[in-house]
C-alpha cells in the first residue's frame, strides 16, 4: 500500500466555481506526484463542468471507497445516483443539498482515517442549511464533527498569517464575545499550530485591538484595557510571545505584520479584508486546532463568474499543497518524537 498522502476534496456548491477550480488543479498530472486526490461528487456533474470549460475531460478513476484510490490518477467517489439539475451562477436548494452530501461523505472518511486531509471547495452558507448542518460555515461544522472544544480560522500565505477570535457572527455580537478566555484560547491554538504545522520554534504573534486606535487608552472603548491587554499579559506568562494591541489600520498600512509570524484579529472582517488584499490569489483558509487537517481556498462560490471558465485555481492549488505540507510536518513531528537521536540532530540543524 502506498504511503502517499490522500487528499479528500469536497466539491462545494454545484452552481459555483468549485468544480472548475478543482478540475483546473487536477489537470496538472504533476499533482499526483505529491498526493492522491479523491473528489467526492459525481462524474456526471464533473462532465457538465468540463463542457462549460471547453476542455478535454479529466479522466477520473471512479471508486466506491477511499481505500481503493489509484495513486497515480485523480479519483472520484460518486456520492449519489440521481441526475442533478445544475444552474450555474444560481443560489438554490440543489447547490446546498449536494454540497452537504459531498462534505459529509468526505469528512466521515477523513475522521475514519481513510484520507489524510480535506480540502473544501466553497459552499453557500445559506443554501447548505439543513437538519444536520445548522452552522455558520465549514469551520464550525468540522469542529463539531471532530468533537473539538475550540478551533481557529487561520488564513495563511507566504506573506502573512491571520487568525480571528470571533468568526461568522453578526458585528453587533462581537464585543460580548471578546473575552480574556477566548483570546487566550485562540492565542494558544495559534501558537501551537505555528510550532506544529509550520515549524516555527518561537512564534511572534501580533494582537489587534477591537476599537479604532486600539481604544486610545480608553477614550474609544475599554475592551483593550479590560480584556485584550490582560489576555496578552497572561499569554506572555504562559510562554507565548504575544504583542499589542495594535490599531488595525496603521498596523497593516505600515506593513508591521511582516515583523510577526502571525496576527490575531478580533473579528472576521478586521482580519480577512487586509489578508485578502495582500494574498487574494494565494491565500488559504486553514482550520487550526483540530485533530484533522482541513484547508480551503480563501474565496467564495463565485456565482458571478460560474460557467465562464475565468476562475483562477491559484488559491485552491495553494490549499491543496498547504494541506500536503501540514500532513508531512505532522508525520515528521511524530517520527521525531519517537526517535530521540533524530530529534537531537533535527534541533541542531534548526539552530
Which range marks the domain in which residue 10 is found? 1-148+290-351
* 235 vs 242: CA distance, rounded Å: 7
Instruction: Dump pLDDT digits (tens) for 21-43.
Output: 999 999 999 999 999 999 999 99
Whether residue 226 sits in one domain with residue 101 = no
* 82 vs 89: CA distance, rounded Å: 21
Q: What is the mean pLDDT of the chain?
A: 93
Instruction: Dump pLDDT digits (tens) for 262-276.
Output: 999 999 999 999 999
- State the CATH number of the domain containing residue 55: 3.40.718.10
Whether residue 283 sits in one domain with residue 165 = yes
Whether residue 240 sits in one domain with residue 216 = yes
Counted domains in the chain: 2
Q: What is the mean pLDDT of residues 330-347?
A: 69
* Cβ pair 96, 123 in contact under 8 A: yes
What is the predicted pLDDT for the residue at 348? 46
What is the predicted pLDDT for the residue at 281? 83
- Say yes or no to pLDDT of 174 above 70: yes
* Cβ pair 211, 219 in contact under 8 A: no
For residue 45, give the nearest of 117, 121, 112, 107 by alpha carbon.
121
How many Å separate Cα 65 from the centre of its chain? 24
Q: Which of 287, 314, 334 is the last residue of a domain?
A: 287
pTM: 0.91
- Say yes or no to pLDDT of 76 above 90: yes
Whether residue 187 sits in one domain with residue 81 = no
- Say yes or no to pLDDT of 169 above 50: yes
Instruction: Dump pLDDT digits (tens) for 42-61.
Output: 999 998 888 888 777 788 99
For residue 105, give the nearest of 47, 39, 44, 58 by alpha carbon.
39
Q: Which of 252, 287, 322 is the last residue of a domain?
A: 287
Whether residue 281 sits in one domain with residue 173 = yes
Give the Cα-Cα-Cα angle 194, 195, 198 (nearest 5 degrees): 55
Whether residue 220 sits in one domain with residue 160 = yes
What is the predicted pLDDT for the residue at 342? 57
Q: What is the mean pLDDT of residues 294-314?
A: 94
- Say yes or no to pLDDT of 91 above 70: yes
* Cβ pair 143, 115 in contact under 8 A: no
Give the Cα-Cα-Cα angle 299, 7, 103 (nearest 5 degrees): 60
Length of the chain: 351
Q: Which of 272, 287, 302 is the last residue of a domain?
A: 287
Whether residue 211 sits in one domain with residue 266 = yes
* 267 vs 306: CA distance, rounded Å: 29
More confident residue, 334 or 25: 25
* Cβ pair 330, 197 in contact under 8 A: yes
Whether residue 112 sits in one domain with residue 246 = no
Q: Phi and psi at residue 84, in whole multiples of 5°?
A: -120, 130
Whether residue 161 sits in one domain with residue 144 = no
Whether residue 319 sits in one domain with residue 304 = yes
Whether residue 228 sits in one domain with residue 205 = yes
Whether residue 346 sits in one domain with residue 206 = no
Amino acid at each position: 500500500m502506498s504511503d502517499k498522502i490522500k487528499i479528500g476534496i469536497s466539491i462545494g456548491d454545484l452552481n459555483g466555481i468549485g468544480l472548475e477550480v478543482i478540475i483546473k488543479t487536477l489537470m496538472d498530472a504533476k499533482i499526483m506526484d505529491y498526493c492522491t486526490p479523491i473528489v467526492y461528487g459525481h462524474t456526471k456533474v464533473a462532465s457538465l463542468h468540463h463542457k462549460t470549460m471547453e476542455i478535454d475531460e479529466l479522466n477520473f478513476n471512479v471508486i466506491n471507497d477511499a481505500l481503493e484510490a489509484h495513486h497515480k490518477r485523480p479519483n472520484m467517489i460518486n456520492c449519489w445516483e440521481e441526475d442533478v439539475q445544475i444552474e450555474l451562477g444560481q443560489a438554490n436548494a440543489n447547490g446546498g443539498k449536494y454540497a452537504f452530501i459531498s462534505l459529509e461523505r468526505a469528512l466521515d472518511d477523513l475522521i475514519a482515517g481513510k484520507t489524510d486531509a480535506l480540502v473544501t471547495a466553497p459552499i453557500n452558507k445559506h443554501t447548505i442549511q439543513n437538519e444536520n448542518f445548522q452552522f455558520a460555515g465549514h469551520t464550525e461544522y468540522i469542529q463539531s464533527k471532530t468533537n473539538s472544544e475550540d478551533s481557529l480560522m487561520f488564513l495563511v500565505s507566504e506573506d502573512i498569517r491571520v487568525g480571528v477570535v470571533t468568526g461568522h457572527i453578526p458585528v453587533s455580537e462581537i464585543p460580548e464575545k471578546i473575552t480574556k478566555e477566548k483570546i487566550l484560547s485562540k492565542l494558544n491554538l495559534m501558537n501551537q499550530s505555528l510550532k506544529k504545522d509550520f515549524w516555527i520554534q518561537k512564534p511572534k504573534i501580533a494582537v489587534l485591538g477591537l476599537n479604532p486606535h486600539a481604544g486610545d487608552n480608553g477614550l474609544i472603548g475599554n475592551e483593550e484595557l479590560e480584556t485584550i491587554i490582560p489576555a496578552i499579559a497572561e499569554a506572555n506568562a504562559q510562554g507565548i510571545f504575544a504583542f499589542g494591541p495594535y490599531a488595525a489600520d496603521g498596523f497593516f498600512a505600515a506593513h508591521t505584520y511582516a515583523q510577526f509570524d502571525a496576527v490575531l484579529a478580533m473579528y472576521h472582517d478586521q482580519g480577512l479584508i487586509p489578508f485578502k488584499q495582500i494574498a487574494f490569489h494565494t491565500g488559504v483558509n486553514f482550520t487550526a486546532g483540530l485533530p484533522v487537517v482541513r484547508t480551503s481556498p480563501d474565496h467564495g462560490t463565485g456565482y458571478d463568474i460560474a460557467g465562464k471558465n475565468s476562475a483562477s485555481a491559484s488559491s485552491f492549488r495553494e490549499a491543496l499543497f498547504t494541506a500536503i505540507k501540514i500532513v508531512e510536518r505532522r508525520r515528521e513531528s511524530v517520527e521525531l518524537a519517537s526517535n530521540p537521536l533524530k530529534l537531537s540532530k533535527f534541533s541542531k540543524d534548526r539552530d
